[in-house]
Amino acid sequence: MNGWPAVLADLPAILRRGPDDVRAYLLVGAILFSLGLFAIVTRRNAVALLMGVELVLNAANLNFAAFARFVGAARPGESASIEGQAVSLFVIVLAAAEAAIALALVFAVYHQFRTIDLHRMDDLRN
């Protein structure tokens, strides 16, 4: 297993190759995922938490599309694979459904509790 300095030595090469390197896309996806995770854990506002979920889903989409382009293209005798893009399309549709239901729940919860602070809606009945 490489130590961290040796691992990080690859970073300039990745940035120099830019759009021709799958790892550049994965790097952007990793940053988006981590930021979304941070938002999900720390935000107290339900709508802000939903934004974090969207960031995570976007990161997943980016990874699907990147692997569809690069790994599919590396298979011999086959053009770039389309399946990753199909899965990514399903993720977009499910994200839309999730956003609609989540915002409906936020409104219903506000109607019930008069707040959307996730720390103050902690009783089963009022």
Enumerate residues 59-118 that contact another protein by CB under 8 A: 61-62, 65-66, 68-71, 73-74, 79-80, 82-83, 85-86, 88-90, 92-97, 99-101, 103-108, 110, 115-118
120 binds another protein, rule: CB under 8 A: no
CA nearest to 84, candidates 72, 98, 92: 72
Report the C-alpha gap between 49 and 54 in whole angstroms.
9
Say how far residue 110 (Cα) sits from the centre of its chain. 27
CB 54 within 8 A of CB 91: no
In the complex, the smallest distance separating the C-beta of residue 53 from another protein, rounded to whole angstroms, is 10
Nearer to another protein, 93 or 124 (CB): 93
In the complex, the smallest distance separating the C-beta of residue 59 from another protein, rounded to whole angstroms, is 9
